[in-house]
Structure 1
Amino acid sequence: MGRPKQFDPDVAVEHAMDVFWRKGYAGTTPQDLVDAIGIGKGSLYNTFGSKHDLFERALRRYRDGQAVALIEMLQEPGPVKVRLRKTLGFLAEMDLADPDRRGCMAVNTAAELAATDQVATELVQRMFARTEDAFRALIEEGQRSGEVAPERDSAALGSLLLNTVVGLRLMARVAESPDRLVRVIDATVDSL
C-alpha cells in the first residue's frame, strides 16, 4: 500500500500556477515546481503526470480565478462606462502593483506557446472568447441603456475591448508609470 499524500494537490496547483505565471512554461523547470510545492519529483509526476499536465491544471486554475473575477466586475450594477473604466483600471493597477510584473498568464501563454502547444492555445482561446463575450454583453447593455450608440457593432466592440485588455496587460509588464495605461483606458472608454 502506498503512502498517503502529504500535500494538498489543490494548493500544489496554486503554487505551480504562481511559478508558471512568473517564469513561463519553458522557463519553469521540474525542480522549480518541486521547490515551490515542497514535494519530491516522484510525487510531482505520480500526482500530476507531467510538467505539461500540471501546467494545464494551473492555466485552468488561473482561468477560474482571474477570468471569472474580471467578468464578475463587468456584471456589477451601475453605468456601463463606469464599470468598464473601473475594470480596466483595476487590471492596470493590479499589474503595476505586482513586484514580478507577471501580467496576464493567458496573454503570456498565448505569446509563448500559441505556435507550439495546441492544448494551451485552445485553453487561452476559450478564455479570450469568454472575456470577449462578456464585453459584448456589456456593450449591448450599454446600447439598451443609451450609453452606447445602438448602431455600433457590439461584437466588434467586444473584440476591441479584449484587444485593449491584452495590450494593457502587456504594456503594464514594462510600464514605468501608469500614465500611458490611463490614457489607453480613457481613450477606449471615451470611444464608446
Structure 2
Amino acid sequence: MGPGKELVDMSARPREFKDTAVIDAAMEVFWEHGFEGSSTEKLCERTGLGRGSLYNAFGSKQALYEKALERYQELGIEIQVDVLEQPGPVKDRLRALMVWGIDQDFDGAKRRGCLSINAAIERGVKDAEVARLVGGHVGRLEQALCHVIAVGQRSGEITSKRPALELSRSFLSSFYGLRVLGKIVEDRRVLEDIVEGTLAAL
C-alpha cells in the first residue's frame, strides 16, 4: 500500500465516524418526535451541530430524515435476519422474531414503536422516497421469511401447502400489525396470543 492510499484512508475515517454519529443522533430525534415534530432546534441540540453545519453536511431536514431511516433499517434488518438464521426449529425462529418485536415495543416508557412503520404512516403516502425506503426494507425481510418458511415446508414443520411467498406475506402482516399494536396495547399477553395464533396458522 502506497503512502497516498494510506493518507486517504486515515483522513476518511474521522468524517465517516462523525457522520454516523450525527445520523444516529438524528435518528433518535425522528424516532421520538416524527418528521413533522422534529424541529431544526431539536436536531441541532441532539447532534451537537449548528444549523449551518447540519444542513451543509446533509442538505436539508428531508435528506437527513432519509439518511436516518436508512440507518435504522440497516441496523434493523441485520438483527432480524440474524434471528431468522439461528439454528433450531423454524417455528422457534419465527416466534423469536415476533418476540423480538414485542421486546422492542415494550422497552422503556417511550413506546416509540418501529421507526419504519412510523415513517410509512406519517409520510408514506405523500413522500415517494420514504415509501421506497420502507418498501425496500419490507422486501428484504419478506425474502428472508420466504426462505425460512420454505425450509420449514421441506422439513414438514410447516404443514400449510400454500406457497411460501404467500405465507411469508401473511406472516409479515401479523408481524407489522403486532408492531403497531405494540404502541398502544398495555397487556403483553395480547401480543403473545397473536404470536401463537400466527404460528398455529402455519
The list of structure 1 runs, each at least 4 consecutive aligned residues, that deviate by more than 3 angstroms after superposition, is none
Return the offset for 1:47.
0.8
Structure with max Cα Rg: 2
Report the counterpart of residue 13 of structure 1 in structure 2: 23
User: Which amino acid counterpart does residue 127 of structure 1 have in structure 2?
Assistant: H
Return the offset for 1:152.
2.0
Percent identity of paired positions between Structure 1 and Structure 2: 36
- Which structure: greater helix fraction? 2
> Any residues of structure 2 matched to 1:152-191 within 5 Å, and which?
152-191=162-201
User: Which amino acid counterpart does residue 109 of structure 1 have in structure 2?
Assistant: A
Report the counterpart of residue 138 of structure 2 in structure 1: 128
Report the counterpart of residue 92 of structure 1 in structure 2: 102
C-alpha distance in 2, partners of 1:101/1:79?
Answer: 30
User: Which amino acid counterpart does residue 168 of structure 1 have in structure 2?
Assistant: L
The reply on whether 1:143 has 2:153 as its aligned counterpart is: yes
The CA RMSD measured in Å over matched residues stands at 1.5
The reply on whether 1:46 has 2:64 as its aligned counterpart is: no
C-alpha distance in 1, partners of 2:126/2:162?
Answer: 36
C-alpha distance in 2, partners of 1:127/1:48?
Answer: 22
C-alpha distance in 1, partners of 2:201/2:108?
Answer: 29
The reply on whether 1:76 has 2:86 as its aligned counterpart is: yes
User: Which amino acid counterpart does residue 191 of structure 2 have in structure 1?
Assistant: L
C-alpha distance in 2, partners of 1:94/1:151?
Answer: 32
What is the TM-score when the length of structure 1 is the normalising length? 0.94
Return the offset for 1:165.
1.4
C-alpha distance in 2, partners of 1:120/1:48?
Answer: 16
Unaligned runs of 5+ residues in structure 1 are: none
Return the offset for 1:38.
1.0
Return the offset for 1:98.
3.3
Contact 1:144 1:150 in 2 (8 A): no
Return the offset for 1:150.
6.0
State the number of aligned residues. 188
